[in-house]
A and B are shown apart, each in its own frame.
Chain A
């Protein structure tokens, strides 16, 4: 197992270098420059002075080497768009905020979704199933901005219970969490239901029933454990998503999270910010994949056995 992890870590490192390199050169091949979105077209000398300030006047490959050197020292540079804001600091300050509301939403949403999925599977083609599937379809098809607008209007304007937008107090967190959780509920309910139904048809479930176990025992000991495998896969992806924020949700609720930077930095040609957020995403993603592989071996004996060969 130790050797396996070392090997995986090494490859993860290579992957990261590849991601940074590709992003660096791809980003620079996009037409436009960081000054374009800032203001009026500037006199040539002004542009040159600005580029020199950010080292953009050097040959591209030299810039790449400087960037990589900084990266190995844990320095992601300074944002080009936002004068004086170190990229590292921005990520360190904003990702925990995305992680906080997103994490709570993910946990609540996943638990609710799993329970609803189980309920739906056990009541297949009866009314609880229909209700759950209605929620699930709503949750996956309704665009998030529609859902948010609706929530803001109902709870903020019509009922007046909660502030429609804003950040800083507990009351501001309720709507974003509810809206974000709604998506998870929908996703997990569908997945769990499908895999539950699949598992219920397996021979070993029949065997367990034949042994005379009660329905409760069959479900908790045999069905659930096997049904949750697909959920684990998507859960790992969701965790990465939580720390990288949700652009629309954060924008509409004025949440100072990291989601904003993923989209805007590309539009603004904020090279250092694009690279910084990409590195962050890549690291999270790679680490989660590693964790996922380990978790698989814990919950699925078949993988554990084959892994020991």
Chain B
């Protein structure tokens, strides 16, 4: 499970911001580091300067709360990831994902992967109390309880008894048990291949019943209402201004935590972050603005890290709309876009043209999905050329099927954008020009703020929409399941029994090769046959670290956090 951008923020990010979720999570498919000596991701370098280490970084918004049962924003999980310890952590070793021990030092599952037993080590809460299996039981029960109103609880769907609890049964029927003080058993309703990765997410962290009950609704809302069991404790939290983290001496792996203090300034303004980085007040900054990338990458004291985010920018069609119910018309609108050109014209060439719906950050086990599945978009163009067609031919074919005549300029098509900024205005004009030149369509553009845009989409009140999506955890299921008929996250009104079947089957298939095959078949239906969604960009994020910062991860979904980092060379 990835600390995620809300889709809203990811959309905002298009216009101006750097990828802001990954302060602790600098991910990279293909590291392009200007200073190879810092590509040290597992063992922090030894300290060379005197005095305790500190790290100055920033968050692009105030975390909503530290109560893991009541939040779902990336800023909250960035911080809870530091102050809490779950059963396992998803870390990076030699460029690949590894499941590293957390509270659980060892674990095993039964044959079919439905019963998981975790053996807890001797980790302690910040007040000295031992972390017990019961803390996990309480936490999961609290999140599943409808009375908590947890916006993240659907990550508990695979647990036995989840549906019953959802429908009002007592939380004790949830498939989570403390076998003894230090042994936790989680029972799943069906095998989940990526269950351990899910377990590294915030919703699987433990909670102390006495603390939660003592503070009630205010639990997690302020520094004094938190209880840490992770590498750091929350030292102070001034809303919308700053957060200070201090190394937690009670943490089981405290010996390997190098940085004593982490200062997080809450900076909602990108320009301010750049200025602070220049002034030396930040050790890290992320940006996607070309002029800043150029400026920072020319600095000698800075390491430039480029990484593919777990996000995709895409347009999508309302299959319930009269016009876009037709697959040929959807195909025409998909293929009329030149992704390289969009990248140059609208993103300063900083991103990567999309090659499919599943992002390049994703892997099935140790196989990178995109490397396995190839460039689905290029294959669509190849198929088009083999048929001797053009995007406009598909449009005319679709119009004929719908009895709409043969003049594309008579079509009434509105493209909805979720933003009203200058960037979105320019982008809208670009789309108008492209669709006019390629298809002869007179496109209308509808600009709205996110809330209104999303409301329209959810109510099926749109034709083409444009959004960003950021994956939550490292399995193609996370993004492919969005288009299942049972999922209404992106209300395309499209459903396909074959697609549903493939994705459902893949979800509980433990064999990795088989799973890859199923996912690819599903993606092919989604893109090549049905063209429900039009992947446009794989956004790249550009991170800059002062050279003395080491130990950050290059993989999109790791959650090692500041724990693995060092600023010893400062």
Contacts and interface: CB of A to CB of B under 8 A. Distances in A.
Interface string A51-84: 1111000000000000000000000001001111
A130 to B, nearest CB: 32
Contacts of B276: 156, 163-166
B550 interface: no
A160 B129 CA distance: 46
Most-contacted residue by chain B among A33, A41, A93, A168 (CB, 10 A):
A41
Interface of B: 4, 6-8, 62, 64-65, 67, 70-73, 146-154, 166, 215, 217-222, 225, 238-242, 265-269, 271-272, 275-276, 278-279, 281, 449-452, 454-456, 458, 472, 488-491
B70 A83 contact: yes
Contact of B455 (A32, A149, A256): A32
A167 interface: yes
B57 to A, nearest CB: 13
Nearest to B219: A84
Given A31-B451, A42-B154, A256-B240, A164 B221 contact: no
Interface of A: 30-33, 35-46, 48-54, 78, 81-86, 90, 93-94, 145, 149, 152-153, 156-157, 160, 163-168, 250-257, 260, 267, 269
Given A36-B450, A84-B70, A267-B449, A254 B221 contact: no
Nearest to B74: A39
B273 to A, nearest CB: 8
Nearest to A167: B241
A153 B154 CA distance: 46
A37 B449 CA distance: 11
Nearest to B225: A84
Contacts of B449: 267
A37 to B, nearest CB: 5
B462 to A, nearest CB: 12
Contact of A38 (B147, B151, B472): B151
B242 A166 contact: yes
B220 A83 contact: yes
Given A41-B458, A168-B242, A53 B147 contact: yes
Contacts of A166: 241-242, 265, 276, 281
19 contacts: A36-B451, A38-B6, A41-B491, A42-B151, A45-B166, A49-B153, A51-B149, A81-B64, A82-B221, A83-B220, A85-B222, A94-B240, A152-B272, A152-B275, A156-B281, A163-B281, A165-B275, A251-B268, A260-B268
Nearest to A151: B275
B241 to A, nearest CB: 4
B490 A41 contact: yes
A43 B154 contact: yes
Q: Chain A interface mostly helix, strand, loop or mixed?
A: loop
A120 to B, nearest CB: 34
B147 A267 contact: no
A83 B269 contact: no
B458 to A, nearest CB: 7
A39 B452 contact: no
B472 A50 contact: no
B456 A31 contact: yes
Contacts of B72: 38-40
A64 to B, nearest CB: 21
Shortest beta-carbon contacts, A-B, top 10 = A32-B451, A53-B149, A84-B221, A41-B489, A256-B241, A31-B455, A83-B70, A39-B72, A49-B146, A83-B65
B238 A167 contact: yes
B310 to A, nearest CB: 13
B74 to A, nearest CB: 9
Nearest to A166: B265
B471 to A, nearest CB: 10
A54 B149 contact: yes
A38 B75 CA distance: 11
Contacts of A156: 275-276, 278-279, 281
Contact of A254 (B222, B272, B488): B272
B8 A37 contact: yes
A165 B449 CA distance: 28
A254 B73 contact: no
B314 to A, nearest CB: 14
A254 B240 contact: yes
A250 B240 contact: yes
Nearest to A41: B489
Nearest to B76: A83
A234 to B, nearest CB: 28
Contacts of A253: 272
B153 A254 contact: no
A39 B490 CA distance: 12
Contacts of B454: 32, 36
Contacts of B458: 41
A52 B65 contact: no
A43 B110 CA distance: 30
Contacts of B151: 35, 38-39, 42, 46, 50
B223 to A, nearest CB: 12
Contact of B8 (A36, A50, A86): A36
Contacts of A44: 488
A157 B269 contact: no
A83 to B, nearest CB: 4
A50 B70 CA distance: 9
Contacts of A255: 240-241
Contact of B73 (A39, A53, A168): A39
A86 B218 CA distance: 8
Given A250-B240, A256-B239, A267-B449, A164 B281 contact: yes
Given A37-B450, A40-B7, A49-B147, A84 B217 contact: yes
Given A31-B456, A49-B148, A156-B279, A254 B451 contact: no
Contacts of B65: 82-85
Contacts of A38: 6, 64, 72-73, 151
Nearest to A93: B239
Contacts of B70: 83-84
A255 B265 CA distance: 10
Given A31-B452, A35-B151, A83 B240 contact: no
B154 A160 contact: no
Given A35-B151, A46-B154, 12 more contacts: A33-B451, A37-B451, A40-B7, A41-B490, A44-B488, A45-B146, A81-B64, A163-B279, A166-B242, A168-B242, A254-B266, A257-B240
A52 B215 CA distance: 20
Contact of A46 (B7, B150, B455): B150
Contacts of A269: 451
Contacts of B490: 41
B146 A40 contact: no
Given A83-B220, A156-B275, A164-B275, A49 B450 contact: no
Contacts of B73: 38-39
A90 B218 CA distance: 12
Given A46-B151, A83-B67, A254-B266, A167 B272 contact: no
A38 B153 CA distance: 14
Contacts of B217: 78, 83-84
A30 B458 CA distance: 15
A153 B275 contact: yes
A30 B451 contact: yes
Contacts of A39: 4, 6-7, 72-73, 151-152
A50 to B, nearest CB: 4
Contact of B242 (A42, A160, A167, A260): A167
